[in-house]
Structure 1
């Protein structure tokens, strides 16, 4: 699909629409927009990733509804991310009139300083953009400590204008006024699958944004990362979560033994669970269609989960992971459907 084939109803977000979204959430304990850690980026608390092969039309719908954080892979699973590429070219390409309202995060799962050149060239060529807001090193596992450290030392060469990588990409694809001002990468992030490494790097000045798996059944990020951050510290890194709804074992499916009349959380409830944690800025979604986006936004309107709801969802996650049986759960901790 070409950009000019996109339907008119998928128009870009106007200033009036953006102000409406801000005002609608102004009194919420779960603000829709927040500062992404120590960066100067203002992000929506819900982000769009391509894991559900969301279409460009529905990606633009998300932007029309106020979502401004978009996550894109140039290598691993690129085929499921690519359906949103037309929308990202329209929102972030060199001719975009709304580029400054978008926070574009891209990722490469190729590790090492030499891999960055190939990944950046692929991303700039495909999306025809001027700059990336957050460039992520992806899937940092327990065997990646040494190569990740090497990769992180490229942060100063990646970030800002007139950096080494800026000059390299500029020679390859040409420059622009936006690129001269911003550089090709504004901030550097990492997506951790090893939480010990995440804990080691969370205070590093080389790392601006931390991305970790977190959901009701996998809560280790709360102990390894979230509790070590001070929400009032303006120098803390930004925090993004992924896999809120599970992966191989969908968390919206009822765990064995749970009484039928107990609260069965929806996917938007699972996003709220992550967003109710300390210092979480963005819960990354993998929606398949615009109805999923609308439901998630409606969920955020309900505000943070209450302590008893978080406690219940902890039990719910433990039941999913077979850490306990329903017979071990006090009935007073259960929440029943209204």
Structure 2
């Protein structure tokens, strides 16, 4: 894809201001990626011996689950409480996958997250998930959702670690989604968890300066992104900025490219609503990483539409 053109409404000086700031002492900026991950790639899930695809499926449809498995995707993300109805399609899709292809259960990795806080989190009530998906039988990754602080991480980690030690629900790996980047970095560098879901997108690019440069190179835990497309600029917003066909309006799939272009991001959680949308994501990843100018342009677009985040 050619670099986006600019108009008087998108001056290069404004875009230049969106480039990452100079890193503080001690930070490292890895070399830029030359290619993006593919669905059939496999990443080690900590030291568990399990491996996962760099694309994980969350809220989706049953037919997309089957298409994803055929494409090589083996990582799936379910909830045990918050947003339960939104995951019905994924639950139904996994049930059909296990029914039609019994061997698939040992080839996929299913993470289940609980957003409950202590003391309720301590009970890790994942049994309803197992009961709702025939053939699931176990939870491969036990997860804490929306960790807001380091203290919360420590408290819920103790519950997760105890559950894994007891093989609660068959759990072998531990993970969390984070709303607090310092807590995520602490866990990453202490190798507390096997997978960390962080929020990095065009309106929340802070991880590029306060997580990735400081993540230890020998970390064992994976880093996945969620909310990749939350700041997508719509055609209407694009027009309100005074932009036209001479400027680039990024597609939904370009926001996944944005998340994976940053060195250190191992994978993304995505929610395609059809096999066609999933194919679109894969085709976009085949196009390769964004250029530095394209990254800066997408951040500029989001900052113009959502200035409250900047």
What's the TM-score, normalizing by structure 2?
0.77
Paired residue for 1:269, among 218, 229, 254?
A: 254
Structure of greater relative contact order (alpha carbons < 8 Å, 6+ residues apart): 2
What's the TM-score, normalizing by structure 1?
0.72
| Aligned match of 1:328 | none
CA drift at 1:323: 7.1
CA drift at 1:252: 4.3
Please give the root-mean-square deviation of Cα atoms over the aligned residues, in Å: 2.7
1:71 and 1:49 mapped to 2: Cα distance?
A: 5
Q: What are the Cα deviations for residues 143-184 of structure 1, in whole angstroms up to 9, with x where unaligned?
A: xx434322101333222xxx3253xx5xxxxxxxxxxxxxx1
2:247 counterpart of 1:228: no
**2:45/2:52 contact within 8 Å kept:** no
| Aligned match of 1:209 | 195
Q: Give 1:115-130 correspondences, 5 Å limit.
A: 115-128=121-134, 129-130=136-137
Cα 1:124–1:95, aligned 2, differ >3 Å: closer, same or farther? Answer: farther
CA drift at 1:114: 4.8
Q: What are the Cα deviations for residues 90-130 of structure 1, in whole angstroms up to 9, with x where unaligned?
A: 44589821123212111111123653535222222222423
| Aligned match of 1:192 | 178
| Aligned match of 2:29 | none
2:137 and 2:100 mapped to 1: Cα distance?
A: 6
**2:232/2:255 contact within 8 Å kept:** no
1:276 and 1:41 mapped to 2: Cα distance?
A: 25
Instruction: In structure 2, list runs of 5 or more residues that go unmatched.
Output: 1-33
**1:37/1:281 contact within 8 Å kept:** no
CA drift at 1:197: 2.1
**2:53/2:73 contact within 8 Å kept:** yes
2:34 counterpart of 1:48: no
CA drift at 1:137: 0.3
| Aligned match of 2:147 | 140
Paired residue for 1:70, among 68, 73, 76?
A: 76
Cα 1:112–1:78, aligned 2, differ >3 Å: closer, same or farther? Answer: same
Q: Give 1:5-84 correspondences, 5 Å limit.
A: 29-32=35-38, 33-36=41-44, 38-39=46-47, 40-50=49-59, 54-84=60-90
2:99 and 2:180 mapped to 1: Cα distance?
A: 34
**1:94/1:130 contact within 8 Å kept:** no
SS at match of 1:191: strand
Cα 1:204–1:251, aligned 2, differ >3 Å: closer, same or farther? Answer: farther
